[in-house]
Structure 1
Amino acid sequence: MNYDVIIIGGSYAGLAAGLQLARARRRVLVEDAGMRRNRFAGASHGFLTQDGTPAAEIAARGRSQLMAYDNVEWLPGEATHAEAAEMGFRITVAAAGREATGRRLVLALGVRDELPNIPGLEERWGRSVFHCPYCHGYELDRGRIGVLATSPKSLHHALMLPDWGPTTFFLNEAFTPDAGQTEQLRSRGITVVDGPVGRLEGDGVTLVMGDGRVFPLEGLFTLPRTSVASPVAAQLGCAFDEGPMGSFIRTDAVKATTVPGVFACGDAARMAGSVSLAVGDGALAGAAAHQSLIFGS
């Protein structure tokens, strides 16, 4: 089946891109593997008009609104391959036994979070362990906050958090602050705890050090490494940039990648992201993909 635009990824950025293209009366295919990055979070915060709304509800409502347009088709499954084709691009969704071609591609691939290997952390991810203070800091109600270091870049993370509550910085042998950094931490009122972290436990999050010290917390923040959640951007030859959390797809001001005819948006195409940034990114990428069909790119 031939489409004007194929969107790989049906979360917030992909849905927003699709809506622009649907309203431009283009034939659109949205392929979605069903793995939203924020699927573990109960609610989305900081998104104007949707603050506090369950994240899954926002995604479901967005899909319902998009699929009300009869020029949009939804294809569940993971795109396992993408390549240039005579009339644009071809994608393969092996589990669905489908191939499809489109004149343009929009990559809304999302990212995978590579979490620190601390017992008890993974099952608390998105519930009492977070990475974004703007998304989750306010709800901790100025309670005790921890920051788990994963690299020297965690210093920036730690210096931000006191605006949301009294902060303890757990170095976990990830790095040792120098004299200047130690003074920065002191000036922000941050308690620094050295030594390896043993585990997380409790209904909320209680951090237990390797030597047995116990720190009850209202929330714990950490910077995971991220990786683009699909190989298709690399298969197509898109260039990547390196950000503080991991590599992401390089795009220009209108979300065009280094491969003509391919656009990228959302967390996979930013240094860091949120639902509101993903929606804005997707709207821009969708409009740019549409205009490229008219004016070329």
Structure 2
Amino acid sequence: MDIDEFDVIVIGGSYAGLTAATQLARARRRVLVVDAGQRRNRYARHSHGFLGQDGREAAAIAADGRAQLMKYPTVRWVEGAATQAVAQDGGFRITLANGSAFQGRRLVLATGVVDQLPALPGLAERWGDTVFHCPYCHGYELEQGRIGVLATSALSMHHSLMLPDWGTVTLFLNGAFEPDAEQLDRLAQRGVTIERTPVRAISGRSTVELRDGRAVEMDGLFVVSRLYSGSPLADQLGCEMEEGPMGQYVRTDMVKASSVAGVYACGDAARATGNVALAVADGTMAGVGAHQSLIFGAFAAAA
């Protein structure tokens, strides 16, 4: 079977992958982008905080990026899920779910992450609409209204102490943890109300239904999700991982090189926290790093 060969294969066609591919295309390298169409922020209507794009539809930013990328003649785009990656013949062989295979001298993993939310009725249906994870992305639009924090662990203290800058905050502990005396004092200083009654469900716009029958109306809710890799490729290749507060991510150096020579990682797959602006910055570094490695040699990230 003939296998198409590329200078660099980019796995993931969202903000980080698009940016990495653009850097490589502008260096006139032959680039393949493999995209499964699972942008992490596909549930959000608008994107905020990205210079020059503030308030635009998230999907429109990604669509424009793809349209601009595809004007470069050395780029090919393939839709599908990359299910297997192996080091082979001085590069990497990528196999898709449909059986097609491609060979690349370098590999950029921009595979993103999957958010695992608490199993609470009505929560997932509102994800990206009135339930969020990033105050900087969505806090301003709540117009200094009523903001709820649904605790998942002690990490929810971070949200609870930040969000009073965006509105009036209630922390719904929901049995996830119990603040100690110092934490209670800090919450009090920030004006945070604490609700210990367990949560039964989320309804309406973002109403928190409690098990004692009360319904607490909120204008928006924030929750710390657990993050999981959006692809098995980093594990297959043996990339070293780091443990972040919300889950594992690929360990990289300053130019986004992983511990495996020739493999670069960027975006949410390669950082503890992220947003569109950070993904674009990461993609720039990964694209430049992969390109320069083709000239000067590929080096794995230092141990």
Question: Which of 33, 55, 67 lines up with 1:64 in the alignment?
Answer: 67
Where 1:34 maps in the other structure, the secondary structure is coil
Deviation digits for residues 48-84 of structure 1, max 9, x if unmatched? 0000000000000000000011100001000000010
Stretches (4+) displaced over 6 A: none
Deviation digits for residues 133-181 of structure 1, max 9, x if unmatched? 0000000000000000001111111110000000000001000001000
Which residue does 2:53 correspond to in 1?
50
Deviation at 1:211, TM superposition (A): 1.3
Which residue does 1:238 correspond to in 2?
239
Which residue does 2:197 correspond to in 1?
195
Question: Which of 10, 16, 20 lines up with 2:19 in the alignment?
Answer: 16
Structure 2 counterparts to residues 210-221 of structure 1, below 5 A: 210-221=211-222
Determine the C-alpha separation between the residues in 2 that align with 1:88 and 1:123: 42
Determine the C-alpha separation between the residues in 2 that align with 1:62 and 1:156: 33
Where 1:39 maps in the other structure, the secondary structure is helix
Which residue does 2:224 correspond to in 1?
223
Deviation digits for residues 236-295 of structure 1, max 9, x if unmatched? 000110111111110011100000000000001000000010011001100000000000
Determine the C-alpha separation between the residues in 2 that align with 1:222 and 1:267: 17
Which residue does 1:270 correspond to in 2?
271
Give the percent of matched residue pairs that are identical in Structure 1 and Structure 2: 62
Determine the C-alpha separation between the residues in 2 that align with 1:137 and 1:285: 30
Which residue does 1:177 correspond to in 2?
179
**What is the letter of the counterpart of residue 254 of structure 2?**
A
Deviation at 1:195, TM superposition (A): 2.4
Determine the C-alpha separation between the residues in 2 that align with 1:79 and 1:72: 17
Which residue does 2:301 correspond to in 1?
none
- What stretches of structure 2 of length at least 5 have no aligned partner? 299-303
User: Normalising by the residue count of structure 1, what TM-score does the alignment of the two structures yield?
Assistant: 0.99
Where 2:42 maps in the other structure, the secondary structure is coil
Determine the C-alpha separation between the residues in 2 that align with 1:66 and 1:140: 34
Which residue does 1:141 correspond to in 2?
143
- What stretches of structure 1 of length at least 5 have no aligned partner? none
> In the comparison of the two structures, how many residue pairs are matched?
295
**What is the letter of the counterpart of residue 143 of structure 1?**
G
Which residue does 1:76 correspond to in 2?
79
